[in-house]
Amino acid sequence: MSNIEQSDSFTLGGRTVKRLGYGAMQLAGPGVFGPPKDRDAALAVLREAVARGVNHIDTSDFYGPHITNQLIREALHPYQDDLAIVTKISARRGDDGSWIPAMSREELTQAVHDNLRNLGLDVLEVVNLRSMLGIHGPVEGSIEEPLTVLAELQRQGLVRHIGLSNVTSTQVAQGRRICEIVCVQNHYNLAHREDDALIDELARDGIAYVPFFPLGGFTPLQSSTLSDVAARLGATPMQVALAWLLRRAPNILLIPGTSSVAHLHENLAAGKLVLPDDAMKELEQVAGINAA
Ligand SMILES: NC(=O)c1ccc[n+]([C@@H]2O[C@H](COP(=O)([O-])OP(=O)(O)OC[C@H]3O[C@@H](n4cnc5c(N)ncnc54)[C@H](OP(=O)(O)O)[C@@H]3O)[C@@H](O)[C@H]2O)c1
């Protein structure tokens, strides 16, 4: 049985959270749209995560939409004092499930209020501004206008801390001139290493880096190198992928997503897996990096 009580911690805004957290996106229906197939199973995953010591849950009101936040509220409210629920804003969903940019003042303000209502909170612990300049990956461009709106909502007391998501390092630098940025949430995993330099830069400044798609996202990572290393260590490939991230940098916080209690247990147990140096070197091959 897995328990993450002993695993490392890191500062996220005003709190210290376990480095192994949970991403709630997989709890909505297919395509992150509509209700889950099995509502009780979704509630059970959330309750089990917190029972096993998870105190960092990542979500958004555009998952479902609204449904994931409502599940979190039903499963966990009133929340434990140490639980950090991190949400993100700046998109809305079309009737067909499409992801539509929603970065105007009115839309961002509405999104903060939607998150507060659906999560049953008076103040949101961390809100990530998710850049929608690019839907599938970061695209350069100013984030000043929407971030200034979010900073105003913070001054009104609706938001404690601010993070950025789907951003370039130029946008992170721009954001840090506007307000304090406590975390960056970008696409990163063993095979997707565009943010290597950014992670090291943020680590130097004590800012959390929270990779989304840590297991590869909708199509989990598949690699013979990963499978070989996992077999040698008596672990699963997904555990090795998570353990690699934990060793990659001390400011990396994990939010693997799953709709299954069995996968949740497996993922949390990755906190106990220590990768030896030779495995770290070998795993560089997954991203095509020459580790010689
Ligand atoms: N900021 C952004 O733009 C953004 C974008 C995407 C995601 N996110 C956040 O990041 C979190 C993590 O991303 P994600 O959930 O999309 O991707 P992920 O954590 O990389 O992978 C989730 C996928 O892996 C499967 N999985 C999980 N554990 C497994 C295991 N032990 N063995 C085999 N398969 C396993 C899940 O299926 P099962 O349900 O069957 O386990 C699901 O298909 C999300 O929950 C969300 O909070 C943020």
pLDDT values of the chain reduced to their tens digit, one per residue, 292 residues: 445 655 699 999 999 999 999 999 999 999 999 999 999 999 999 999 999 999 999 999 999 999 999 999 999 999 999 999 999 999 999 999 999 999 999 999 999 999 999 999 999 999 999 999 999 999 999 999 999 999 999 999 999 999 999 999 999 999 999 999 999 999 999 999 999 999 999 999 999 999 999 999 999 999 999 999 999 999 999 999 999 999 999 999 999 999 999 999 999 999 999 999 999 999 999 998 776 5
> Among residues 110, 115, 111, which one has the least CA distance to residue 86?
115
Task: Give me ligand 1 centre to Cα 218, in Å.
Answer: 7
Rounded Cα–Cα distance for residues 255 and 20 (Å): 7
Catalytic residue among 22, 63, 188, 209: 63
Ligand 1 pocket member 192 (CB < 6 A): no
Rounded Cα–Cα distance for residues 227 and 237 (Å): 5
Burial label for 191, CB within 10 Å (0-12, 13-18, 19+), is middle
Ligand 1 pocket member 216 (CB < 6 A): yes
Probe residue for ligand 1, chosen from 258, 264, 266, 267 as the CB with the greatest number of ligand atoms within 8 Å = 258
Ligand 1 pocket member 115 (CB < 6 A): no
Task: Give me ligand 1 centre to Cα 38, in Å.
Answer: 17
Active-site annotation holds for 63:
yes
291 SS3 class: coil
Task: Give me ligand 1 centre to Cα 260, in Å.
Answer: 11
Q: pTM of the prediction?
A: 0.97
Q: Which sign does the torsion angle of CA 53, 237, 187, 68 carry?
A: negative
The pair of structure tokens assigned to 220 is 């989990």
- Asked whether 181 and 154 are in contact (CB, 8 A), the reply is no
Looking at residue 118, its pLDDT comes to 98
- ω before 65 within 30° of 0 (cis)? yes
Looking at residue 1, its pLDDT comes to 45
